[in-house]
Amino acid sequence: MSGIASLPALGLGLSTEYGASLTRGAVAPAGLRREHPAFGGFLEVGVETSKGLDAVARDWANRGWPTTYHFLDVNLDEPEDLDEGWLNEVRAGVARLRPAWLCGDLGMWHFGRRERGQMLLLPPVLTASGATASADGIRALSEATGRVVLPENPPGTAYVGDLHLLDYFARVTDEADTGMLLDIAHLVIYQRLHGLPPTAGLDGFPVERIVELHVAGGAERTRDGWAYVEDDHSPRPLADTWAVLEALPPRATGLRAVVFEAERNCLAEVVPGFRRIRDLVARLAPWALPT
């Protein structure tokens, strides 16, 4: 796995995107790092290049604290999406943040041209050919930025294709020769939609390729008799989400970081979740925590 072994252990961190930390009552990343250093090990900065970095992300970067760059605006299975103008903006963001790696949901971030009215997020088409196209894009972005690129399994209320989600990402990471960002909350959404246990497919998945994990809350909803989970980033993960984290096998030797996606909640609300995550990671994958 090219480049994975040399990645630093970042420990636990918080995610953000433009304006999220400025939401009324939201936890301040710098405040989290100051009051609970073990929970504010790094900041995952969600970046849409048309918006750039907000004041919170710039302040964090100016302090030289660890970051990861989470893209919010690229369809990696479309070669034309990695145009030079966009790549130059990404390179500028990388130069400012100095991230340990790049990561982001692998799917359709926009339909048609990359512009405000076309932005969305849909899952990828779960087929072998789709996996190959996405792997090509991952390699191209990595070469263009000089950073390891970790694909993330996105949320969705419908998926198409003949592969299980984890089988698809096993193909992608193998063909791209890279690691993965496994979003546990998103995986739980997929498993429930397909009537599967939360850990289905994990035994056969190359967990040694998991470099980063996301943990987040979800809201159980029902509309017209149809039950689904809304990916709401609350500080209260579902029991299924905890079950997947607890089932993480010891061969997950590539794990370097865990993000608690609860950025729009207050400090008092996020600390209990961080404590539970820390205790589980310390028991299951202590190598992911900086020494």
Contact indicator for 73, 119 with CB cutoff of 8 Å:
yes
**pLDDT of res. 5:** 86
**pLDDT of res. 119:** 85
- 11-288: what fold? TIM Barrel (3.20.20)
Structure confidence by residue, pLDDT tens digits, 142-199: 999 999 999 999 999 899 999 999 999 999 999 999 999 999 999 999 999 999 999 9
From CA 141, how far away is CA 148, in angstroms rounded? 9
CB atoms within 10 A of CB 289: 19
Contact indicator for 141, 112 with CB cutoff of 8 Å:
no
Give the residue carrying structure tokens 């993960």: 237
Collapse the DSSP code of 12 into the 3-class scheme (helix H, G, I; strand E, B; otherwise coil) and give the result. Answer: strand
The token pair at 58 is: 């710039």
Contact indicator for 255, 233 with CB cutoff of 8 Å:
no
Contact indicator for 144, 102 with CB cutoff of 8 Å:
no
Collapse the DSSP code of 167 into the 3-class scheme (helix H, G, I; strand E, B; otherwise coil) and give the result. Answer: helix
**pLDDT of res. 23:** 86
- Going from N- to C-terminal start, the domains of the chain cover 11-288
From CA 72, how far away is CA 281, in angstroms rounded? 27
**pLDDT of res. 15:** 97
Give the residue ranges of the chain where pLDDT is below 70.
Answer: 1-2
Contact indicator for 38, 70 with CB cutoff of 8 Å:
no
pTM of the model: 0.96
